[in-house]
Amino acid sequence: MKILLLGYGKMGQLIDQLATQSGHQIIAKINIDNRSDLDQLDNSKVDVAIDFSQPEAAVDNIKWCIDHQIPVAVGTTGWLDRKAEIDSYCQTKDGTYLYASNFSIGVNLFFKLNQQLAKLMNNQEQYSVKTKEIHHTQKLDSPSGTSITIAEGIIGQIDRKSDWVNHKTNQPKELEIISERVDPAPGTHEVSYSSTVDTIEIKHTAHSREGFAKGAIAVSEWLKDQKGIKSMEDFLNFD
């Protein structure tokens, strides 16, 4: 598989390392300093692109890939206020892209577990629910895209919650997300339901970034043969 890397920070570098070890070829490594290199790139030599860039660059990167008929797996967060625009653009141009707030297989299983638990807890109004995340201090967005996905999974199932906030709250309709930034934590996410008599908790802890990178590569291997707007649920084939 021939890969275009958009963004070459820690995740881009790790994907480069692991993809090369697996026999894939990195066609180009694009970041803010050399984005003009895209103008000379022969897109016919690219099977798929992986974007772990910056929020301000992601939209242009995705559009460039769609314009050049290159399927793109997007792990950059912080740009979702323009996702509807990108969805429409992708459909109009008959492109292919997949956005995931997290490419870790374990995290995506956690997302599904979180939704199922929230569904079970909908009628258990004696339980209050809150979420917490811990990431390294270089994490640019707060809350993380993963935390937002978790929160949306809860809000979608629990009628008494209508919105999330990134601070402590006593408002019944608000779901609390507490964000902590501690080095060198690669990522921990917790959901807890507490009553006067007990607490139910689910938790995912990443031991390294390797799970995110391996997931992105696996998704890209699948995405290169797909068409349209895809999701991790499509990739994992959840029933």
Instruction: Give 230-239 pLDDT, tens digit per residue.
Output: 999 999 986 6
**Which of the four pLDDT bands, split at 50, 70 and 90, describes residue 224?**
very high
Structurally, the chain folds into a number of domains equal to 2
CATH code, domain carrying 81: 3.40.50.720
Could you read off the pLDDT of 99-149 as tens digits, one per residue?
998 999 999 999 999 999 999 999 999 999 999 999 988 887 889 889 999
* Rounded Cα–Cα distance for residues 110 and 227 (Å): 26
Same domain, yes or no: 139 and 70:
no
Same domain, yes or no: 64 and 16:
yes
Which of 132, 135, 189, 224 is flagged as catalytic?
135
CATH code, domain carrying 119: 3.30.360.10
Same domain, yes or no: 64 and 143:
no
Over residues 52-66, the mean pLDDT reads 96
168 and 178 Cβ atoms separated by less than 8 Å: yes
Same domain, yes or no: 110 and 170:
yes
What would the two tokens of residue 147 be? 């935390």
139 is a catalytic site residue: yes
What would the two tokens of residue 116 be? 């199922």
pLDDT of res. 42: 92
230 and 96 Cβ atoms separated by less than 8 Å: yes
Same domain, yes or no: 113 and 21:
no
- Mean pLDDT of all residues belonging to the chain: 95
Same domain, yes or no: 94 and 147:
no
Over residues 4-29, the mean pLDDT reads 96
Could you read off the pLDDT of 168-190 as tens digits, one per residue?
999 999 999 999 999 988 899 99
Given its phi and psi angles, is residue 94 left (phi above 0), alpha (psi -120 to 50 degrees) or beta? left
Find the domain containing 54 and state its range.
2-103+210-236
pLDDT of res. 198: 98
pLDDT of res. 237: 86
Same domain, yes or no: 14 and 85:
yes
Residue 184, preceding bond cis, omega within 30 degrees? yes
Confidence (pTM): 0.86
Spatial CB neighbours of 26, under 8 Å, sequence gap ≥ 6: 3, 4, 5, 16, 19, 20
Same domain, yes or no: 168 and 51:
no
Same domain, yes or no: 168 and 231:
no
Same domain, yes or no: 190 and 132:
yes
Same domain, yes or no: 124 and 175:
yes
* Rounded Cα–Cα distance for residues 196 and 209 (Å): 37
Same domain, yes or no: 74 and 133:
no
Over residues 187-215, the mean pLDDT reads 96
**Which of the four pLDDT bands, split at 50, 70 and 90, describes residue 84?**
very high
Q: Is 5 helix (H, G, I), strand (E, B) or coil?
A: strand
